Chain A
Amino acid sequence: MRIVFEKRERVSHTVRVLVPVISLVFALVFGAVLLLFSGVSPGAAYAAMARGAFGSSRALAETFVKAIPLMLTGLAVAVAFRMLFWNIGAEGQLAMGGLTAAGVALFASEGLPSWSVLPITILAGTLAGALWAAIPAALRAYLGVNEVITTLMMNYVAILLVSHMYHGPWRDPAGYGFPGTARLPETAWLPRLYGRAHLGLFFAVVAAVVLWFVLQRTKWGFELRIVGENPEAARYIGIDIPRLMLVAMLVSGGLAGLAGVCEVTGVMRRLQQGLTVGHGYTAIIVAWLAQLNPWAVLLVGFLLAGLLVGGDQIQMAMGLPAAVGLVLQGALLFPMLGGALFTEYRLRIVRTATEDFRTPEETGLEEAGS
Chain B
Amino acid sequence: MLFLAEGIVGQKMTVGESQEPLLRMVGITKRFPGVVANDHVDLELYQGEVLALLGENGAGKSTLMNVLNGLYRADEGSIYVRGERVGIRSPRDAYELGIGMVHQNFMLVETMTVAENVVLGLRDLSFRLDLGGVKRRLQELGEQYGLKVDPDAYIWQLSVGEQQRVEILKLLYRDVDVLILDEPTAVLTPQEVDDLVEVLRRVIGDGKAAVFITHKLREVMKFADRVTVLRDGKNVATRLTRETSPDALARLMVGREVLFRVEKTACEPGDAVLEVDSLRALDDKGLPALRGVSLTVRAGEIVGIAGVAGNGQRELAEVITGLRQAMGGEVYVSQERMTNCRPLRAIRSGVAHIPEDRIGMGLVGDMSVAENLALKAYRDSAFSRGPVLHPEGMRRFAEELIDGFAIVTPRAETRVKFLSGGNLQKTILARELTACEGLLVAVHPTRGLDVGATEAVRAQLLEERDRGTAVLLISEDLDELLEVADRIAVMFEGQIVGTRKTDDAGRDEIGLMMAGDGMEKEGMAT
Query: Interface of A with B (CB < 8 Å)?
Result: 4, 6, 9-10, 217-220, 222, 225-226, 229-230, 232-233, 235-240, 348, 350-354, 356-360
Contacts and interface: CB of A to CB of B under 8 A. Distances in A.
A146 B33 CA distance: 41
Residues of B in contact with A, size category:
35 or more
A370 to B, nearest CB: 15
Interface string B382-398: 00100111010000000
A235 B365 contact: no
A88 B73 CA distance: 41
Given A218-B389, A232-B360, A233-B362, A357 B78 contact: yes
B33 A10 contact: yes
B187 interface: no
Given A222-B389, A230-B364, A357-B86, A237 B376 contact: yes
A229 B366 contact: yes
B323 interface: yes
Nearest to B394: A222
B251 interface: no
Contact of A219 (B323, B343, B384): B384
Nearest to B353: A236
Interface in B75-93: 76-78, 84-90, 93
B467 interface: no
B366 to A, nearest CB: 5
B352 to A, nearest CB: 11
Nearest to A234: B364
A229 B365 contact: yes
A361 to B, nearest CB: 8
Given A233-B363, A236-B323, A353 B343 contact: no
Given A237-B343, A238-B342, A230 B378 contact: no
Contacts of B517: none
B75 to A, nearest CB: 8
A236 B343 contact: yes
Contacts of B84: 354
A362 to B, nearest CB: 10
A237 B86 contact: no
Contacts of A356: 87
B72 A225 contact: no
B344 A350 contact: no
Nearest to B87: A357
B357 to A, nearest CB: 8
A238 B389 contact: no
A217 B389 contact: yes
Nearest to A10: B33
B74 interface: yes
Nearest to A365: B89
Given A6-B90, A230-B360, A232-B357, 7 more contacts: A217-B388, A230-B365, A233-B360, A354-B84, A356-B87, A359-B74, A360-B73
A356 B375 CA distance: 46
Contact of B355 (A222, A229, A236, A350): A236
B389 A219 contact: yes
Nearest to B96: A353
A364 B88 CA distance: 16
A229 B364 contact: yes
Given A219-B378, A352-B96, A359-B78, A238 B344 contact: yes
A232 B318 CA distance: 13
A240 B360 contact: no
Contacts of A9: 72
Given A222-B389, A359-B76, A360-B73, A352 B365 contact: no
B379 A235 contact: no
Nearest to B374: A222
A349 B348 CA distance: 54
Nearest to B84: A354
B83 to A, nearest CB: 12
14 contacts: A10-B33, A218-B388, A219-B378, A219-B388, A229-B365, A229-B366, A233-B364, A237-B375, A348-B89, A350-B89, A351-B87, A353-B97, A354-B84, A359-B76
Interface string B443-462: 00000000000000000000
A207 to B, nearest CB: 18
A352 B93 contact: yes
Nearest to B367: A229
A237 B377 CA distance: 10
A239 B345 CA distance: 11
A157 to B, nearest CB: 34
A225 B367 contact: yes
A353 B387 contact: no
Contact of A220 (B342, B363, B387): B387
Contacts of A232: 357, 360-361
A237 B87 contact: no
A235 B72 CA distance: 33
Interface in B27-83: 33, 72-74, 76-78
Ranked 5 nearest A-B pairs via Cβ: A238-B344, A353-B93, A238-B343, A357-B87, A357-B85
A360 B365 CA distance: 28
A358 B88 CA distance: 10
A6 B78 CA distance: 22
A240 B357 CA distance: 20
A176 B266 CA distance: 95
Interface in B156-215: none
A105 to B, nearest CB: 34
Given A219-B379, A222-B389, A233 B78 contact: no
B9 interface: no
A226 B364 contact: yes
Nearest to A233: B364
Given A219-B378, A220-B387, A359-B78, A240 B364 contact: no
Contacts of A237: 343, 347, 375-376
A313 B387 CA distance: 47
A184 B348 CA distance: 53
A217 to B, nearest CB: 5
A47 B391 CA distance: 47
A348 B87 CA distance: 14
A124 B74 CA distance: 61
Contacts of A220: 387
Contacts of B387: 218-220
A238 B341 CA distance: 11
A236 B89 contact: no
Contacts of B388: 217-219
B86 A236 contact: no
